[in-house]
Structure 1
Amino acid sequence: MRDDVFPGGLLLSPVRALAWDAPASVATLDVAALGDLFDLEPKPEFLLLGTGAGLLQPPRAFVRALEALDIGVEAMDSRAAARAWGVLRAEERWVVAALLPL
């Protein structure tokens, strides 16, 4: 088992995991900060957004931008998002995740 640490955050897709230089605050999050995370075929069902040590709501503009791409957003603290990722991927759900550091 590997115990990799991603101090700046982590981006997950069904095909890869990447270290992420996450924004300092959820409040400044925009779609561009996620790079090519959504460039998958088929398109992801939704984004699991881990907001760090506690639950913070993402900016409405961020949520609207993803909804315009037909991608939903589920925000939760990063620990809960990591657990949800494991459950959803075990069910073979096509989701992506952006986990801000704790």
Structure 2
Amino acid sequence: MGTYRYPAEFRADAVALVHSSDRPVSRIAEELGVNAETLRQWVQKAADTAEHPQSSPPAVAAPARSAKDTEITRLRRQVRELEMERDILRRAAKYFAKETNW
């Protein structure tokens, strides 16, 4: 069985989706139609090549947030995640449509 090469943009978008989502990698991989282990390798490779500072900045006391602010933040994060998923699926559909000559 031959290996399939995904476009670099698709891989980068999938890794970004994993980082921005609270869902397991296996579920995201299933939704994207990618092998879960393949997606894990992409995430690991991205983590290995990214420059991470060795020491984290000192923690600063954050002001207390109201429940409303927390909910707004959560919903904004969810909207960003859903928009990213939509864009990834559009790109994937366009890519696979070209391959099948529809």
Counting strand residues as a fraction of each chain, which structure ranks higher? 1
TM-score range, shorter chain: under 0.3
Counting helix residues as a fraction of each chain, which structure ranks higher? 2
TM-score by length of 2: 0.25
